[in-house]
Amino acid sequence: MRTSVLIQLLGLLLFVFQAKAQYRNEISIPDIPGYLTLKCDFHMHTVFSDGDVWPTVRVREAWGNGLDAIAISDHIEYRPHSQDIKSDHNRSYEIAKPLADQLGLILIRGTEITRKMPPGHLNAIFIRNANLLERDDWFEACKEAHEQGGFIFWNHPGWKAQQPERTLWWREHTRLLDAGLLGGIEVYNSNEYYPEALRWAQEKGLAMMCNSDVHDPIEVQYDLAKKHRPVTLVFATDRKAESIRNALENRRTAAYFGDSIVGDRQFLKPIFLASIEVVSNPVNLKNQTVKNIAIHNKSDLDFILVRRQPSVGFDTPKHVTLKAHSTSMIEVTGTSDEVAAMKKLKIYYEVTNLVVGPGESLPVMFEVDNL
């Protein structure tokens, strides 16, 4: 009889809780010449390890938050809910996959190899079978991941629980790197930025990763009305898992967190150029006159500019903010008669929140016709 009750119920319940409309808020960080700018998060948990949500929640969140691809990376070695949840290490992927397909979200199979430091925690994504990574020897687990075609990166290298004093690079990481097993490193995790990881990424040729490592419902960790979740920007030739794999392998990533993007100049410069447009052009600047140069910023990011060098013949503000999704003004003031003869005004700033190296901001130049 139980069965028949259940069948009746199934019919009734099937369409019950679908009423809620779903919306996806796109992330406005533009594509760059030659590549799509995919928005990804490769580190997150579910009830199948120490997270608090069912795997489908991660898919819905990611789709609604404007992501293109995610990896669920439940811990191999840490499963505090195992008294109640009996399943293998592939299960969270399998549960999430049908919904991801329906929504058009790219779901990458992943897991977290979870050890004390060294080597700490490592994510392996693009693997084929997480169960085979349950090994006593962490190096063997990494080799297995690699043989499955996995891409391995070091998680939260500066996490105080494992590196309380300083953020150190260990011999074990060199071993992984030399063996061709380590492809990336988180320069940002959850709410922490690791400047050392930026340096290592550039020196040692690792892809920069920026992930949420979310355990709770995403809204618990991030007040999404005010700030976005951390995003690994992936510069890929198309919107496919293989292209993401290829971009990671070739270090075509950047870290987008808070009000900043951290990455190589070759990616951040075209992002800036694709984001802004000089609206009012030309000006007609003479000595003692004041003109406004209107600049539109179509990205989600306020660009915080500081003047790199004073201009000759005219003056510009020391600080300018190009507000997201708005048009901002740069006020230029003629300070000598020669300005009237200039055909172009060249204006030099640094974008302090586009970080292209340790302590280094992206320099930019605006050129405005002066007629």
Is residue 32 a contact partner of residue 272, using CB atoms and an 8 Å limit? no
Q: Is 60 a binder of a copy of itself (CB under 8 A)?
A: yes
- Is the CB of 221 or the CB of 311 nearer to a copy of itself? 221
Residues 247-276 that bind a copy of itself (CB under 8 A): none
Q: Is 53 a binder of a copy of itself (CB under 8 A)?
A: yes
Q: Is 1 a binder of a copy of itself (CB under 8 A)?
A: yes
Size of the site for a copy of itself (CB under 8 A): 70
- Is the CB of 294 or the CB of 340 nearer to a copy of itself? 294
Binding mask 213-252 for a copy of itself (x = CB under 8 A): --xxxxxxx---x---------------------------
* Cβ-based neighbours of 93, under 8 Å, separated by 6 or more: 55, 72, 107, 109, 110, 130
* Cβ-based neighbours of 308, under 8 Å, separated by 6 or more: 348, 349, 350, 363
Residues 127-166 that bind a copy of itself (CB under 8 A): 136, 159, 161-162
Structure tokens at 111: 């897991």
What backbone phi and psi angles, to 5 degrees, belong to 339? -60, -35
- Nearest alpha-carbon partner for 233 in 23, 32, 18: 32
Is residue 78 a contact partner of residue 116, using CB atoms and an 8 Å limit? no
Provide the minimum distance between the beta carbon of 26 and a copy of itself in the complex, in angstroms, as a whole number: 6
CA distances from 176 to 39, 84, 184 (A): 27, 35, 11
CA 296 to CA 277: how far, in whole Å? 5
- Is the CB of 52 or the CB of 259 nearer to a copy of itself? 52
Binding site for a copy of itself (CB under 8 A): 1-2, 5-6, 8-9, 12-13, 15-17, 19-26, 47-48, 50-54, 56-57, 60, 77-78, 81, 84-87, 91, 95, 102-104, 114-116, 136, 159, 161-162, 191, 215-221, 225, 280, 290-292, 294, 296, 321, 323, 325-329
